[in-house]
Structure 1
């Protein structure tokens, strides 16, 4: 019997189509890994919900796209036939299981749970009267249990080789029983498919592990270099790099470029009265509120932490007059989203300075110095104010 299984594997999988599918699967895994690590480095547990949700939804879309892409390539290679479908199915199962380990969010969990009802003829209502319906339901519930366990125990599974292997076997077994109910192939094929699935997972895991190690090192370096550890927004180093890149463009174009600089009024008092930990919460609250509001209103501004309690927003293609109502909306969003610490409401206000890149500016330093002067003009005028090109406005007065 083992000889028969081995011959079956060799004849079914050691051919040009299997090589193409394997390479495509590795390619899709590579794309998924790069996308996941590129997106995940932009969010943290402290990131606003809308930002985390957007990233997770996009990761789910990438996973779904990979499933469709693999299906289309398989049908092209087989001229629309489902012959040799075990190869294609194992490739998809490999991606599904790999993403369970890599992308740890509820979107991936939901896709894994719903996938049996999207697979081949799984939505065939004739099964409801089929004698194999109980076996399908039992196998499906078993799959859901395995998927849920993998989702909640990913770290423990990855740290134990034998647990990882057992979960692979159980995941593949539950899937192939489900497919057997729909396609009624010989039961011995389940063993065949499981062996190939484990081989696939071994190859993919080796390739992905090397890729992940490279991506982790790169993303850690990128995060440290470009993003503020406390607030999660772009940092001073990222700002310096960005301004160097865009100055040469906007200084010679008629397209406007506007800078808004703001800081938190009386920030030192938060640290002195409540402690530096509360001061950190104030900084995070202000940064997250600004990012969320710009995202929801499509303000198209880039937020940077300039240093201490000072932040900068770069608006590309907008004049100061166009930025004025945006800044007012940002300030009002902060006022309407108070921060509560231990049941106590903290009143947080900010002051702004706004100016655009002028033809006489020899560098961004000239623009920064001017915006900084406008910011201090707002503060010296009583704080909680906005100065646009030298004209100061009180936020509290229309």
Structure 2
């Protein structure tokens, strides 16, 4: 290899500015990934349109801000010069394409589609006098087709390494053809720029995978710490943490907070008669039925497994009288959906205790002890009962009144 060629590669690719831009790009990708994961967990397909739109707009703003930040850093490093612009361009292309894979929303799609019209500092109208205008239009239309294809087929592309790299190459080729129509450099340099872009993408993908694995491990650990392994609902540790936070908040506010506690009637008989594995199925059935019904009816309640066959539901902003029909409906749903195992129907009933946080409660334990006592009052009254602030009701009587 000639000395001048080696010197050119070192000057262009192996310098401090290249290292800084690469590290900045990785840092921006990290921030985008963390923010995107945090925001996307707050919405689902069933979320209101305005909520989804707001989060997608925020993600788009973060992407646009990252592009602007990268531009400012590049010009600072180059003292306002456009020298080594390939470095800045490849870094921006990497962020654009990565966000297409990571954040699949229409705001990100639109930014990718219209970015070619804004990436160059001169006015767009100056291109119209350029003799390369037909090439620009052709490359732009090709880029649009590639972007839309990636947007639609992201999951399938990520499952196939060769298709993934192939689409990256076509994305980079279309972009560098566009850049070539605006800048005076030899056409063969497009190949060099494309190779650098693919190297950038491989580095970013490696870092992103490591980061995603770390986040997944963190989420798994969070689930293990806060959720019951058997039933999947929040566990005792999560309840202890939540109860302290709620007491600090609601003891100072004029907003009601009601706690209900229930357990499964004659649960020991399920274990003794059918075995502990059937007992586990009973626990899961009760937990899943309750959680599903609360979600479908939007009760705003939080379900916890306190221990054994005991569960707790916390209702924010509701007083006990408002919780009585909710609890009755939950109990009726459980009665109407018996557990059937091996052609054996298992009818399950539950007993409840309900109480509201009072101004005289010095801590959450005062409320909890009261609820616990009301639960035992229900059980001592023959089970399948509900005790609210010391007054015990039969569910059958409540159903007749309703």
TM-score over 0.5 (shorter chain): yes
Cα separation, partners in 2 of 1:73 and 1:266, compared to 1, 3 Å: same
Deviation at 1:177, TM superposition (A): 0.7
**Aligned counterpart in structure 2 of residue 325 of structure 1, from 322, 327, 341:** 322
1:222, distance to aligned residue in structure 2 (A): 2.0
Q: Say yes or no: does 1:314 pair with 2:305.
A: no
Q: 1:233-276, CA deviations, whole angstroms, 9 ceiling, x for partnerless residues?
A: 321121123334555x369746567342244766969997x966
1:280 pairs with one of 284, 287, 291? 284
CA distance in 1, matches of 2:363, 2:330: 33
Q: Whole-Å Cα distance in 2 between the matches of residues 54 and 13 of structure 1?
A: 47
5 Å matches for 1:108-257?
108=104, 115-121=111-117, 136-145=140-149, 150-152=154-156, 154=158, 157=161, 163=162, 167-168=164-165, 170-178=167-175, 180-181=177-178, 184-185=181-182, 187-244=187-244, 247=247, 249=248, 253=252
CA contact (8 A) 1:355 1:389 kept: yes
Structure 2: gaps of 5 or more residues: 119-123
1:258 aligns with 2:238: no
CA contact (8 A) 1:258 1:314 kept: yes
Q: Distance in 2 between matches of 1:27 and 1:149?
A: 27
Q: Which residue of structure 1 aligns with residue 90 of structure 2?
A: 90
- Asked whether the equivalents of residues 351 and 383 of structure 2 are also in contact (C-alpha less than 8 Å), the reply is yes
Task: Name 1:160's counterpart in structure 2.
Answer: none
Q: What is the CA–CA distance in structure 2 between the aligned matches of 1:135 and 1:108, rounded to whole Å? A: 23
Q: Where does 1:314-393 land on structure 2 (aligned, <5 Å)? A: 314-315=314-315, 318=317, 321=319, 324-325=321-322, 328-329=325-326, 332=329, 352-358=352-358, 361=361, 364-378=364-378, 386-392=386-392
* 1:252–1:133 CA distance, 2 compared to 1 (3 A): closer
Change (3 A) 1:32 1:73: closer
**TM-score (normalizing by structure 2):** 0.64
The structure-2 alpha-carbon separation of the partners of 1:96 and 1:288, relative to structure 1 and needing over 3 Å to count, comes to: farther
Q: How far does the alpha carbon of each residue in 1:273-302 deviate from its partner, in whole angstroms, 9 at most, with x for none? A: x966576355224213324644xx7x4x54
Is the contact between residue 109 and residue 151 of structure 2 (CA under 8 Å) also seen in structure 1? yes
Deviation by residue 1:180-235 (Cα, 9 ceiling, x = unmatched):
34872464353243233233234434544554454344332222111233554321
- Would the alpha carbon gap of residues 259 and 22 (structure 1) be closer, same or farther in structure 2, given more than 3 Å must change? farther
Tell me if the contact between 1:339 and 1:346 (Cα under 8 Å) persists in the aligned partners.
no
The structure-2 alpha-carbon separation of the partners of 1:251 and 1:59, relative to structure 1 and needing over 3 Å to count, comes to: closer
Please state whether the residue corresponding to 1:260 is helix, strand or coil: strand
Length, aligned pairs only? 368
Tell me the SS of whatever aligns to 1:228. coil
User: What secondary structure is seen at the aligned counterpart in 2 of 1:120?
Assistant: helix
Q: What's the secondary structure of 2:355's corresponding residue? A: strand
Provide the C-alpha distance between the structure 2 equivalents of 1:270 and 1:118, rounded to a whole number of angstroms: 64
Per the TM alignment, residue 118 of structure 1 is displaced from its structure 2 partner at its CA by 3.1
Q: Distance in 2 between matches of 1:134 and 1:312?
A: 63
Cα contact 1:351–1:378 (8 A) shared by 2? yes
Distance change in 2, residues 1:353/1:54 (3 Å) = farther
Larger RCO (alpha carbons 8 Å, 6+ apart): 1
Deviation digits for residues 79-118 of structure 1 (CA, Å, limit 9, x no counterpart):
9x996775555334434554566x5xxx627666555423
Residue 71 of structure 1 corresponds to which residue in structure 2?
Answer: 67
Instruction: Find the aligned partners of 1:379 and 1:93 in 2 and give their Cα distance.
Output: 66
Change (3 A) 1:252 1:335: closer
Write the distance in 2 (CA, Å) between the matches of 1:8 and 1:290. 63
| Higher Rg | 2
Q: TM-score, normalised by structure 1?
A: 0.65
**Preserved CA contact (<8 Å) 2:265 2:384:** no
